[in-house]
Structure 1
Amino acid sequence: MTKPRLTIKSVLADRRVLLMLVFGFSSGLPFLLVFSTLSAWLRLAGVSRTEIGLLSYVALAYTFKFAWAPIVDAFDVPGLSRLLGRRRAWMVLAQLTVAAGLVGIALSDPAVSVTMTAAFALLVAFASATQDVVVDGWRIDAAPTERQGMMAAAYQLGYRLSLIAAGAGALYIADLAGWREAYLAMAALVAVGLVGTLVAPIVDRREGVEAPKGFTFAHAVVDPLRDLLDRKGWRIVLILLLVAFYRLPDFVAGVMANPLYVDMKFSMIEIANVSKLYGVWIGIAGAFAGGFALARFGLLPSLVFGALSSAGSNLMFAWLALRGYDLTLLTVSISIDNFAGGFAGTALIAYMSGLTGPGFAATQYALLSSLYALPGKIVGGLSGVMVDSFGYPTFFVLTSLVGIPVAILCLIVGREGARPEEPAAEPAGARA
C-alpha cells in the first residue's frame, strides 16, 4: 500500500508542531536569565566585572550536556516515569528544577552573597541543559523525519519568543517592580512548559532495547555508540563527515561577518537593524521554509538544497566586500544568508534526528549536535588569519566552495537520515 504524501496542511495541523512551539519557549526561557539578564542585575548590585565574567562558566552545562544525556535515555525518574512516561517525567523534573532555581535567584541578594546567586544560576543552567536533551529526545521519538523540520522550526520560533520574554520582558519588570519580582515572574512562566509536557503524548521508543539493571558505563555510553555503528556500518564515517562539515561555511563566515560590516563603514544602528532584528526573523522564515520542503519534497532534496544555498550565500558577502558600503546590498546579502542558514539548520536537525535509534535518541542526538558545531569553532578561530592573508572576497569565496563536497556527501549518505515510519504514541495520561 502506497503511503499518502505529506502535505503542508497536514503538518501544520499536527499538534506535535504546536507542542514544539511550547517546548521551544520552555527551553529558551532560562538561557538569558543566567547570562545577560542576570549580568545586568549583578552589575547594578555592584558585583565586579571579573566575577560577572567568571559566572559565564555556567554555560559549560550547555556545552557538556551530552555527558549526562545517557542517564536521560537509560533511567526512569522514580515514581514520575511510571505516571508520565520516561521523557515526560524528565521534562517535568527539569522544568520544576528550573523554576526552583529561578525562585532561588529571586530570593538571593547578589550584593550580599554572589556565591549563592551563582549556585542557583548553575542549578538553572544544569536543569535547562537537561531539558534541552529531553526535548530533543521527545521530538525525535514523536515523529518521522518528514515532520522533524517543521517541529524544529516551531521550536526555534518558541525559543526566540522566550528570549524576548527573558530579555526585554524581565528588564521591564525589573525596572518597574524590582529584580526579585522579575525573576519570580519568569519562574511562573515555567508553567507554560509544564502544561505542554502534561498534554504531550507518551512516545518513549525503546522497542528491542533491554532496560538497564543499574548504571553502567557500557549501557549508558558504549551501547548508544555501538548501536549507531551496527546500524550504519562503514557509512558512519561519511555520515559523521557530513554532520561535521554541513554548517562549516556558515559558522566560519559568521565569525568575520561583523568585522566586514564595520570595515565597510556601516553604522552600528544599520548593523543592528538589518542583521540583529530584521535578519533574525528572516532566519526563522528560512527555518519554516525548510520544514515545508521536508514535508513536501523529502529529506534528500532539502538536505542538498540547504548545503548549496547556505554555502553559496557567502558569495553575497564576497560581492559586498568588493562593492563597499551599500545598504541595499547588505540587506539582500543578510536576507539570503539568514534564510539559507535557517533552511539548512532545519534540514540538518531532521537528518541528525533520523540517524538516532530507538532508546538512544537523547544520547545520540546530543553527541551528533555537539559534533556538528565543533569544526566551525576550530576553523573559525583561524578566519581572521585567512582574511588578513587573502582579503574578504577570497575568504568568502573559499568558504562557499565547501558546499560542493558537502552536497556530494549528501547525495551519498543523505538518505541515511530518513526514518519514515510513524512511531506509535500512547495518549497523554497515566500509564498502566
Structure 2
Amino acid sequence: MAAIVVLGFASGLPFYLTNKTAQAWMTLEKIDLASIGFMSLAGLPYSLKFLWSPLIDRFRLPFCGRRLGWVAAAQAALAIVIGSMYFAGPSSSLSMFAALTLLIAFFSASQDIAYDAYKIEILEKREMGAGAALSVLGYRAALIAVGAAAFVLADFAGWRIAYLVIAAVMVVIAIVTIIFFREEGVSQPPADFREAVLTPFSEFFERLGFRDAFLSLVFIIFYKYGDSLVSNMSTSFLMLTGFSQSEIGALSGGIGIFATMAGVVAGGAYLSSAGIRSSLILFGILQAASNFMYYALYAAGKNYYLMASTMVVENACAGLGTAAFVAYLMSLCSRRFSATQYALLTSLMAVSRDVMVAPAGKMVVAAGFGNFFLLTVLLSVPGIAIIFAMNVREDEDAVTRAVN
C-alpha cells in the first residue's frame, strides 16, 4: 500500500505544471491572455493517451516489471524535462516553454497509464476501497504541494527554482520506485495487436450498444466543460485582480484542494444512497452554479474573504461532481479491459479540460472576465441535459470504489 500512496503522489506532481503554474509564470512575465489560454493545448497528451496505452500494455521494459518499469521510466523522463524548465522561461522562449510543457504532459500521461494498470492488477477486490483512498490521498497531497508550496516558493525564489525543486522530488521518487517497489500477480501482456488495441474498443460498443455508448462519450466531454473553462483562466484572473502568488497558493492551492477533498467525501456519501444518475444531475447543477462566485469576485474586486469563499464553494462543488463522475466512468468499464477502456474515457474527459478550453483567453479578451464567467454557466447546461437522454447503469461496485 505504500507504493500506492507514493505513486499516487508522483501521478499528481506534474499535473499543475501543465496548467496552473504555467498560467502563473506566463502571467507574471506579462504574456498575453490569448497565449495563456492556448497553453492548455500543452495538456493534449492527457486527451490522446489512449493512442499509446496499448503499446504500454503490450510491451515491457527490461527492469522493475511490466507496469513499474514504465512508471519508473516516465518518472525519470519527467525529472529531466521539469528540470530543463530552468533554462526556458516563457518570456525568453515561449515556444521552448510550450514544448517542454507538452513533454511534461506526455510523460505524465504515460506514467498515469502504467500506474492505473498497476493499481487495477495488484489490488485484490477486498483492497480496492483502501487502495483507491490511498491513491487519491497521494494524488491530492501532490496537488497541495504544487498548488500551495510551489506558489509560495515561486514568490520568494522564482519559478525556475520552484521547477528545479519539483524535479528533484521526482528524482527521489524514481529512485524509490526502482529500489523498493515490486510487482506481484501482474497479468501477462496481450498476445497480439488485435487483443491489445481492437478488442477493448469493440467490447465497449457491443456491451453498451451504439446509441448509449455514443451518448456516454459525448457526456464525458461536456459534463465538466464549464468548470474546465474557469479553471483554465482562474490563476490569471486572480493575479490580475491583485492577489499575490503566495495568497493564491495558500487560498486556491491550499484551502481549495482541501475543499475539493471534502466535496469528494460528501459526494461519495450522497452517491451511496441516491445513486449515480441523481448525483450526476444534482452535482452538475451545483458545479455550474458555483461559477457565479467568480462573477461575484470580479464585481467586488480584490477581497480576501470573498476570494476564500469562492475557492471553498467552487472547489467543493467540483469535488462533488468528481465523485459522481468517477463512479460513472468506472461503471462503463469492463474489468477485463479496464486499463485501456479507462484510459480512453479519461482521455475524452481531458478533451474538454485541455483542448476545448484553448479559446478561453480569447473569450476573456473579447467579452471581459465578468461575461466570461456568466458564459461558463451557460456552457455547463449541455452536459447536464445529456444525462436525461442516457441510460445510466447503477453499478454498486463502481459507487463503492468511487466513495472510497
TM range (shorter): 0.5 to 0.7
Question: Does 2:366 correspond to 1:383?
Answer: no
Which is further off, 63-72 or 183-192? 183-192
* Root mean square deviation, CA, Å: 4.9
Cα 1:138/1:152, change in 2 over 3 Å: same
Given the alignment, which residue of 316, 336, 341 partners 1:364?
341
* 1:133-192 per-position Cα deviation (integer Å, ceiling 9, x unaligned): 122234456569x95974663352243367599969x99xxxxxxx99997875443365
Partner of 2:199: 223
Given the alignment, which residue of 278, 286, 295 partners 2:255?
278
Cα 1:378/1:69, change in 2 over 3 Å: closer
Q: CA deviation at 1:281?
A: 3.0
Question: Does 2:165 correspond to 1:189?
Answer: no
Given the alignment, which residue of 121, 133, 146 partners 2:113?
133
Given the alignment, which residue of 284, 293, 305 partners 1:307?
284
Q: CA deviation at 1:230?
A: 0.5
TM-score, normalised relative to structure 2: 0.67
Output the CA distance in 2 between the equivalents of 1:281 and 1:252: 21
Kept in 2, the 8 Å contact 1:287–1:346? The answer is yes
Kept in 1, the 8 Å contact 2:74–2:110? The answer is no
Tell me the amino acid that sits aligned with residue 160 of structure 1: L
Output the CA distance in 2 between the equivalents of 1:185 and 1:259: 26
Partner SS for 2:339: helix
Given the alignment, which residue of 300, 324, 331 partners 1:354?
331
Larger radius of gyration: 1
Mapping 1:88-127, distance limit 5 Å: 89-98=65-74
Cα 1:140/1:236, change in 2 over 3 Å: farther
Which is further off, 156-165 or 350-359? 156-165
Partner of 1:156: 139
Partner of 1:71: 55
Q: CA deviation at 1:332?
A: 0.9
* 1:321-368 per-position Cα deviation (integer Å, ceiling 9, x unaligned): 333333222211121111212332343233223212233222222222
**Structure 1: where are the runs of 5+ without partners?**
1-14, 38-56, 81-87, 112-120, 172-178, 424-432
Output the CA distance in 2 between the equivalents of 1:255 and 1:189: 28
Which is further off, 122-131 or 21-30? 122-131
Q: Tell me the number of residue pairs that the alignment of Structure 1 and Structure 2 aligns.
A: 356
Output the CA distance in 2 between the equivalents of 1:290 and 1:194: 36
Partner of 2:7: 23
Partner SS for 2:390: helix
Identity of aligned residues (%): 27
Output the CA distance in 2 between the equivalents of 1:267 and 1:182: 24
Cα 1:182/1:383, change in 2 over 3 Å: closer
Q: CA deviation at 1:35?
A: 12
Tell me the amino acid that sits aligned with residue 94 of structure 1: W
Tell me the amino acid that sits aligned with residue 284 of structure 2: A
Output the CA distance in 2 between the equivalents of 1:358 and 1:341: 27
Kept in 2, the 8 Å contact 1:285–1:339? The answer is yes
Which is further off, 379-388 or 25-34? 25-34
Q: CA deviation at 1:245?
A: 0.5
Cα 1:291/1:203, change in 2 over 3 Å: farther
Q: CA deviation at 1:248?
A: 0.2
Tell me the amino acid that sits aligned with residue 240 of structure 1: L
Tell me the amino acid that sits aligned with residue 142 of structure 2: Y
Partner SS for 1:348: helix
Cα 1:355/1:185, change in 2 over 3 Å: closer
Kept in 2, the 8 Å contact 1:287–1:343? The answer is yes
Which is further off, 121-130 or 133-142? 121-130
Output the CA distance in 2 between the equivalents of 1:338 and 1:182: 24
Tell me the amino acid that sits aligned with residue 70 of structure 2: A
Q: CA deviation at 1:30?
A: 6.8
Partner of 1:237: 214
Partner of 2:224: 247
Partner of 2:91: none
Tell me the amino acid that sits aligned with residue 205 of structure 2: L
Cα 1:159/1:227, change in 2 over 3 Å: farther
Output the CA distance in 1 between the equivalents of 2:70 and 2:308: 40
**Structure 2: where are the runs of 5+ without partners?**
22-40, 88-100, 155-162
TM-score, normalised relative to structure 1: 0.63
Given the alignment, which residue of 388, 397, 400 partners 1:420?
397
